[in-house]
């Protein structure tokens, strides 16, 4: 999938943009991860936290290490057991990135790391990113601005993947929709090879749930329309618009509510679902 070019007058570098409270900035090359579909939602959240922690304040250099208390990675569970699983999954995930000059780069999501320190055996995680990955972070000119509190609230990986991709495009001033072939859209959502092979299943289990969650909780509104060739759906048009003040208030309120029962709550609201 081709990454959209940013409007040239505002071609910030990642280095120059500081995240506001509760947001993190993630360069486009990382967001369009190809081949990470086997990562769990927990692992994705953990990775987003690690990225935010590492690059939120200042830009890294090759070989730099960061230390974060495990407490901040655990979430609501009190144990490290799930953190270790996620770290292993991230280290095993090889990302294929299409560079602007046409080269293809393959790199692990997460580099070497140490858990614990001499004082507290299980207290901290010291981690690094591969030296091939750090320049990507530094050179990025197109990026998404992601709201941590929103990302934490998504319950399906398809909603998170779609949110990441669209939140980046929402910032482009003159673009309000984009057409994806079904193949590209599956890749964007991170649908595993061979799964959800028919449009019916893709719509029911990936697109509809993701739309429901995003429209309930994000700062923008999404519409997805199938594009048919004959009777067969061959592509989708994804359109987006920013919410008004009332819409933003409702979204903020839903994010703050507990996850239990969310599905039923948001289903009762107006749905913009694929026909």
Partner DNA sequence: TAGATTTCCGAGTCTCCGCT
Partner DNA sequence: AGCGGAGACTCGGAAATCTA
# binding residues, DNA (CB under 7 A): 36
Two structure tokens written together for 83: 């953190």
Two structure tokens written together for 151: 């990302």
User: In the range 17-46, which residues lie near DNA by CB under 7 A?
Assistant: 40-42
Spatial separation of the C-alpha atoms in residues 113 and 33, rounded to whole Å: 21
Tell me which of 57, 263, 269, 272 binds DNA, using CB under 7 A: 263
Q: Which of 124, 132, 142 is nearest to 29 (CA)?
A: 142
Per-residue mark of binding to DNA, 215-254 (x: CB under 7 A)? ----------------------------------------
The dihedral formed by the CA atoms of 145, 75, 90 and 161, expressed in degrees to the nearest 10: -40
Q: For 80-138, where are the E strands, in sequence order?
A: 94-98, 104-108, 113-115, 124-128
Two structure tokens written together for 172: 């482009």
Q: For 85-176, where are the E strands, in sequence order?
A: 94-98, 104-108, 113-115, 124-128, 143-147
Cβ atoms 240, 177 nearer than 8 A: yes
Using only C-alpha atoms, the chain has a radius of gyration, in whole angstroms, of 19
Closer CB to DNA, 77 or 272, in the complex = 77
- Asked if residue 101 binds DNA (CB under 7 A), the reply is no
Tell me which of 79, 96, 177, 181 binds DNA, using CB under 7 A: 79
Which of these ranges, 23-31, 78-86, 137-145, 246-254, lies near DNA under the rule CB under 7 A? 78-86
- Asked if residue 67 binds DNA (CB under 7 A), the reply is no
Nearest-approach distance from CB 119 to DNA, in angstroms: 7
Spatial separation of the C-alpha atoms in residues 17 and 32, rounded to whole Å: 20
Tell me which of 6, 48, 80, 93 binds DNA, using CB under 7 A: 80
- Asked if residue 270 binds DNA (CB under 7 A), the reply is no
Which of these ranges, 25-33, 114-122, 129-137, 161-169, lies near DNA under the rule CB under 7 A? 114-122
Residues binding DNA (CB under 7 A): 40-42, 70-71, 75-81, 120-123, 155-158, 192, 195-197, 199-201, 203-206, 209, 259-261, 263
């Amino acid at each position: 999938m081709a990454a959209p070019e940013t409007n040239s007058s505002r071609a910030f570098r990642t280095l120059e943009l500081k995240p506001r409270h509760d947001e993190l900035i993630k360069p486009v090359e990382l967001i369009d991860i190809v081949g990470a579909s086997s990562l769990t939602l927990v692992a994705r959240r953990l990775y987003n936290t690690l990225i935010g922690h590492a690059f939120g304040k200042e830009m890294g250099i090759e070989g730099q290490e960061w230390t974060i208390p495990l407490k901040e990675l655990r979430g609501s569970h009190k144990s490290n057991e799930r953190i270790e699983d996620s770290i292993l999954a991230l280290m095993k995930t090889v990302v294929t990135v299409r560079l602007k000059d046409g080269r293809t780069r393959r790199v692990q999501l997460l580099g070497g790391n140490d858990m614990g320190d001499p004082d507290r055996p299980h207290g901290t995680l010291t981690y690094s990113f591969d030296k091939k990955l750090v320049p990507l972070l530094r050179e990025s000119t197109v990026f998404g601005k992601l709201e941590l509190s929103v990302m934490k609230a998504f319950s399906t990986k398809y909603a998170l993947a779609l949110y990441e991709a669209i939140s980046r495009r929402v910032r482009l001033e003159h673009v309000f929709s984009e057409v994806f072939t079904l193949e590209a859209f599956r890749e964007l959502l991170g649908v595993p090879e061979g799964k959800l092979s028919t449009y019916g299943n893709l719509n029911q289990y990936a697109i509809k749930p993701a739309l429901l969650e995003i429209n309930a909780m994000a700062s923008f509104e999404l519409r997805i329309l199938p594009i048919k060739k004959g009777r067969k759906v061959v592509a989708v048009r994804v359109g987006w618009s920013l919410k008004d003040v009332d819409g933003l208030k409702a979204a903020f309120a839903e994010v703050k509510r507990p996850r239990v029962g969310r599905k039923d709550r948001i289903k009762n609201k107006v749905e913009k679902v694929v026909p």
